[in-house]
A and B are shown apart, each in its own frame.
Chain A
Amino acid sequence: DTEVTQTPKHLVMGMTNKKSLKCEQHMGHRAMYWYKQKAKKPPELMFVYSYEKLSINESVPSRFSPECPNSSLLNLHLHALQPEDSALYLCASSLQNSPLHFGNGTRLTVT
């Protein structure tokens, strides 16, 4: 069982919808990440939070809005997405200089 929990597992949304992806970990990790993975491609980094502060935004469009309410939670708010945003969204957490622990991902389909 993964120690990083992502909900929902699957999400289908229209281009005008607003939805949120959630990620939770209770390992005391102070770094949390969002990655996007298209089919048959490696994961691509989107955002990094370190001690609940956004430290990296890899030029992600503003229709993706991350939020870190506390050290255990990481959200990704979605608004006005495009069909090409359909992908597997992976959350991860880590201690500094330690391996990233990934969740099972949310498989997002934008119609």
Chain B
Amino acid sequence: AQKVTQAQTEISVVEKEDVTLDCVYETRDTTYYLFWYKQPPSGELVFLIRRNSFDEQNEISGRYSWNFQKSTSSFNFTITASQVVDSAVYFCALSEPLGGADGLTFGKGTHLIIQP
């Protein structure tokens, strides 16, 4: 069975601080994808990044960066110089093949609060 653990339920930082959201996963599949989604108060789930299990290169996109380490089954997400607009719930997710489609197993989410 697949599992995604986001141990941090809520994180609160002051604007411009750096913050890292942790994600640990379990799967028996050798090929899989990991994702991060952002859910602002409006409710929409916004796709941020996808990583496949064979690509352990870290990725940077503006103020966002991701650290994928297969050895520790972790896929952590760092926001540099945080801004109030970054406040949201962030979900880490693991893909699962489902009858020709691909569903997602989500972690419980981390509620990130950026204070001005």
Contacts and interface: CB of A to CB of B under 8 A. Distances in A.
B109 A94 contact: no
- Give the residue among A42, A48, A96, A98 with the most B Cβ atoms within 10 A: A42
Interface in B67-112: 91, 98-104, 106-109, 111
A55 B86 CA distance: 36
Interface in B16-45: 33, 35, 37, 42-45
A86 B91 CA distance: 21
A105 B44 contact: yes
B63 interface: no
B100 A51 contact: yes
Nearest to A43: B106
B19 to A, nearest CB: 20
B98 A102 contact: no
A88 B102 CA distance: 21
A42 B103 CA distance: 13
Contact of A55 (B42, B45, B100, B104): B100
A45 B106 CA distance: 10
Interface of A: 2, 31, 33, 40-43, 45, 48-51, 55-56, 88, 90, 92, 94, 96-105, 107
